[in-house]
């Protein structure tokens, strides 16, 4: 059975629905949400630190999960990927040489922080926005 690492955006119930569809296609799915779950106190503390608290937690979470996995994936499917650290993503890509990395953008490229640094890690990039496809498509 082919293995997929699914890195969603964490938007309402969409992640569950997309993961279920991938499973129904016959794939084994592992989901990793870079930002994780944080309670009201952590979110308040994050506001006081002007976003630095969750940014550091997100980076630590990515390093611990992505760089320490021994699992080998056939596909890495990312939706938007704005939370993915470019250095971690590049190192993870090196560890997963056999995997096909796919990025789907459901936001304008101009609104996706880190897109221009991370795009080189993906084999295929898809977007809903025809203007972005025309401007950035190869």
User: What's residue 132's pLDDT?
Assistant: 58
Q: Confidence class of residue 118 from pLDDT cuts 50, 70 and 90? A: confident
CA distance 132 to 66: 29
Q: How far is CA 48 from CA 36, 42, 43, 45, in A?
A: 19, 10, 9, 5
E strand map for 8-123: 28-31, 75-79, 100-105
Residue 45, strand partner residues = none
Rounded to two decimals, the pTM is: 0.87
Q: What is the pLDDT of residues 12-42, one digit of tens each?
A: 788 999 999 999 999 999 999 887 777 888 8
Residue 138 pLDDT greater than 60, yes or no: no
Are residues 89 and 65 in contact, defined by beta-carbon separation less than 8 angstroms? Answer: no
Q: What is the pLDDT of residues 61-117, one digit of tens each?
A: 999 999 999 999 999 999 988 889 999 999 999 999 999 999 988 766 666 676 767
User: What's residue 9's pLDDT?
Assistant: 84
**Residue corresponding to tokens 């990515």:** 62
User: What's residue 35's pLDDT?
Assistant: 77
Residue 7 pLDDT greater than 90, yes or no: yes
Buried b (16+ CB within 10 A) or exposed e, 58-97: bbebbeebbeeeeeebebbbbbbbbbbbeebbebbbeebe
């Amino acid at each position: 059975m082919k293995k997929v690492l699914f890195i969603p955006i964490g938007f309402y119930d969409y992640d569950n629905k997309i993961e279920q569809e991938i499973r129904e296609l016959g794939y084994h799915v592992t989901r990793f949400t870079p930002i994780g779950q944080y309670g009201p106190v952590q979110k308040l503390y994050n506001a006081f630190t002007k976003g630095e608290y969750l940014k550091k937690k997100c980076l630590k979470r990515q390093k611990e999960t992505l760089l320490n996995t021994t699992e080998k994936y056939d596909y890495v499917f990312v939706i938007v990927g704005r939370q993915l650290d470019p250095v971690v993503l590049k190192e993870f890509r090196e560890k997963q040489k056999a995997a096909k990395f796919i990025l789907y953008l459901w936001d304008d490229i101009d609104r996706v922080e880190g897109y221009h640094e991370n795009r080189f890690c993906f084999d295929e990039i898809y977007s809903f926005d025809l203007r972005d496809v025309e401007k950035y498509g190869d």
